Structure 1
Amino acid sequence: MSDELLEGAPLGQSSAYPDHYDPALLYPIERAVTRETLDIDEDELPFEGEDEWQAFELSWLEPRGKPVVAIARFRVPAESPRLIESKSWKLYLNSFNQQRFASSVEVRRALKRDLSEAAGAEVEVTLFGVDDAALAPARMPGQCLDELDIEIDTFTPEPAFLITGDEVVEETLHSHLLKSNCPVTGQPDWGSVLIRYRGPVLDHHGLLAYIVSFRNHQDFHEHCVERMFTDIMREANPERLLVMARYVRRGGLDINPWRATPGEQPPEALRLTRQ
C-alpha cells in the first residue's frame, strides 16, 4: 500500500472523537493503485460486486434531545473509483452522536449523500432497528472446508495451491479460516469466505491451503477479495465465479466485499454469528 495514499488518514493515529457532525472526516482511497498490482483495468473491470458494510454504533438525537440508536447497512459498488478507509468511516458515524435530526429519513439522506460523494458512486443505505429480524445470524451455504487435513507453512497468498481436475462441476464452498491483516496497523482481520463456481473442479485441499495462505498478508478487505477472484479466474478459468468474504466486526463495523462474474449474485441478507 502506497504511503502517499494513506498520508493524512486517521488509521494508525490517535484520534479525538468528534462532537459534531462532520462529513469531512471521511477519507477516500483510490482503488486503482492496488488494482494495478493485480493487472485490473479500471475501465474494464473483470467482475461485478459490492462492498457491504454494517455499522453497529450509529446514534443521533431527536429534535428534543432524546437519543436514537440504529444499525446501518451500506452497499458501495465495486465500480466506484474510491473505497473509504474504515477508521475514518467510524469517526464519521460517531460525529452523528450529538447531532439533532428531524427523522431517520433525514439521517439516511445525509449518510447517502456524504458516502456517495466520498466513494464517487451511489452508495445504498438501509437503517434497521436493533431488534430487526433481518439482522438475525445465518450460516454460510455450501460445503465447509475447515475439517480437511492439510499441512501448510506458506502464509502469504500462493496461487499455486489452486489446482484443478478435468471434471467440470458446480459447487459452493466456504471456510472460516480466513485471516489477513490491516495494511497500516498490522491488526488481524478475521473472516469467512465463500467461493461458488462452475468450472474445472478445484482441489479442496489446495483451495483451503490457498485461503490460509492469506494469514500474514497485509491489505484491505476489498483488495483481498479482488486478489482471490483474479487468482482463481487465472488459475482455474471457471465459467462462473463468486468470491464473498464476511469479516468479523472491528470498531463497530464489519466489511463484506463480494466480486463475481456478470450475473452472479451473493446470498441475500447473510450475517454470521461472529459478526
Structure 2
Amino acid sequence: MPKTPNSDAKLDARVNALLDDYRVPFFGDKKAQKFALDALDPGAKPFSTGSKDSDRDRLSDIGNRLDVQQERLHAQRHQRVLLVLQGMDTSGKDGTIRGVFHEVDPLGLRIVPFRAPTAIEAAHDFLWRVHAQTPAAGELAIFNRSHYEDVLVPRVMEQIDQAECERRYRQIREFEAMLAENGTTIVKCMLHISKDEQKRRLQARIDDETKHWKFDLSDLEARQHWDAYQAAYRDLLAATSTECAPWYVVPADSKTHRNVMVAELLLRLMEGLKLEYPPGKPELKGVKVD
C-alpha cells in the first residue's frame, strides 16, 4: 500500500514519542542517579517499521531527507553538527555510518575514527586531540569512538581512579557545553548490544578469513571485562548526558533497527535546526550564460 502524507505524519509522531524513552536522564536529575543500562533490552526494536525490508525502505526515505538537511547545513556554513557513536566491540559503529549516510552527499560530511592515543597525543590532556576534530562551520562530523574512550578503557584497566574519572566527566561536560555555546549541535549514541550477540559477531569474524582484518586477539581480552565495561558505560552515560549534549541508548542487536533509530534521531535533530539555503545573490538575477 502506498504511503500517504498522513501515514508519514503518524509515523513521525510515533518516533518522536519513543525517542525520550531512550534518552539518558540529564546529569543532575534524580533520575540520572538511578539510571540502569541493563534495564534497556539490546534486542528491542521500538523503531522498527515491521520487517527488515520495510526498515530498509524507511532508512532510504530518511537518508534522502538527511541529504537535503546536510546540503543546507553545508551551504549555510554557519551551524555545526556532531554525532558521537560509542559502543562495545562489534556494536556496529562502522555499519551505522554506512547505513545511515548511504544516501547523503559526502560533501560537508567528515568521519573521525579515534584509536589509541599516539605518544604526542598522550603527552597532552585527553581532550587535546579531540578539539581539533570537532566540526567546522557547515560540517557534520561523526566520531567513530571518541573522547569517551578516556573514561572507559583507563577505568576498566584501573589506570585511573574514581576521583580522576569524576574530573574527566566534569571536563567533558564543560567541553561539550563550550562547543554548544559556539554553535555545535551535539547528539551521542551508545550502540547497546548483548554479550550473546557480541559472541556471535566475533565468531563470525574468526570464521570468515575476509573479516580477519577486523579482528584482534585483544578483542577477546576486552570481552573478559564485559561487566566492568557495562558498569563504566552506565556511569559515564549518567554523568555526561546533558541538555546540550544528550546521550541516547540505541538497541543494536538488530543492525537494521540500529540504523533506523540513529537515522530517525539525527533527522529530527537536523530538522529542528530549521536549516535553510542561503539567500539568492541579487547580482545573478537575469544573468544568462552564453
Which TM-score tier does this pair reach, normalised by the shorter chain?
A: under 0.3
Determine which structure has greater relative contact order: mean sequence separation of CA pairs < 8 Å that are 6+ residues apart, divided by chain length. 2
Normalised by the length of structure 2, the TM-score is 0.26
Normalised by the length of structure 1, the TM-score is 0.27
State the structure with more CA Rg: 2
Q: Which has the higher strand share?
A: 1
